[in-house]
Amino acid sequence: MVVSHYFDYAATTPVDTDVVEAMTTCLKNNFGNPASQHAWGREAQAAVEQAKLQIARLIECGTDDFIFTSNATESINFALKGAFLGQDEKKHIISFATEHRATLSCLDALKKLGAEITLLSVDENGQIDFDALRKAIRPDTLLISVMHVNNELGVVHDVKKIVQLADAHGVWVHVDAAQSIGKLPFSVKELGAAMVTFSSHKMYGPKGIGALYVRRRPRVNLFPLLHGGFDSRGLRAGTLATHQIVGFGAAAQAVQAHREEIEKVRHCQQAFLKALSVIPFHLHAEAASRVPHIVNVQIEGFDNRVLFQNLSDYAFSKGSACAAQMESPSHALLALGVSSEAAGQSVRISFGRYSTVEASEKLGQAIVSVVQSKVGG
């Protein structure tokens, strides 16, 4: 398969070659349990600590300020459920209609445990209404959960402003930053959020490993979802997956080495949209602050299923990979006020490290060719 024809980076990224090498070396040499006290265990623990240092440097925090998880979904569940179960007084949680399914489903589950959920709407560009957010905060509000970069639209939310508002009311903020790393400058220190979710496979690392940053001061109390050991500050039991963690660390180091790719991705996006411009299309959330890596476009009057059937050599999607098997329209697009029909005419194109301007232009031309052939026929 031609990697330059891959335009679904928001779903998952190819694993960087340096990451593959680091993981292969680890699998060969560091099979010991990092919790064991003998030489093999100490070697594995040293590999874990090195990876933690690489990740900490990238997101600008201490090496013990985050906990490894199996993926971003677990991190989100840990943050929301752990925070709710870790205290008895506050029962109210605020989030937004365009959040990832992992967050929305977790909030639905928390309702059954007694949580009261306020799901705020966004405007036609996917942006947050801060007046509505301010009014939604109650004395019993525990936390606000928000995506930093929306996975379907590329919209960047002003998380620092949300944190400032929340801090003024003694409310925690959880940030889903799975789509942030490598797409824009990011620092948990500058952000100031109580908890932040990360995912390795969104930043050219392996699947099956993620992390949850948990602020130490002011302290955030979390109830563990997994019991049975004393690793990870006593918050998540289980043997650490050394090779996955090493891959995560190598991916974090590679992100720092590829900071210039953001501008390259911008050129890819521009080439794609220019090629597409000969047919009627609409760019969703066009007026919002967005990363160049993700565009969601409606090919006006043209069912997106026809594109998938005729462009099998290219990889792109109709929205979040987590909802790819669902026949219903994208909940994120519906939250913008887009009709079900228009959502069914929309596709998400996401660019990344191995995208090229030439291939991006050809994708746009290929879509145009399909549309013109079907319309003309």
**Residues annotated as catalytic (active site), given as ranges:** 322
Contact 203, 181 (CB under 8 A): yes
Which residues face 94 on adjacent strands? 118, 144
Of 126, 114, 176, which Cα lies nearest the Cα of 148? Answer: 176
Token pair recorded at residue 297: 């476009």
Contact 284, 338 (CB under 8 A): yes
Of 45, 52, 54, which Cα lies nearest the Cα of 26? Answer: 45
Of 150, 133, 175, which Cα lies nearest the Cα of 98? Answer: 150
Contact 74, 209 (CB under 8 A): no
Which residues face 213 on adjacent strands? 66, 196
Strands 281-283, 294-299: pairing kind: antiparallel
Whole-angstrom distance, CA of residue 161 vs CA of residue 215: 18
Strand order of the β-sheet with 281-283 is 281-283, 294-299, 346-350
Single-letter residue type at 369? S
Q: How far apart are the first and last CA of the chain?
A: 30
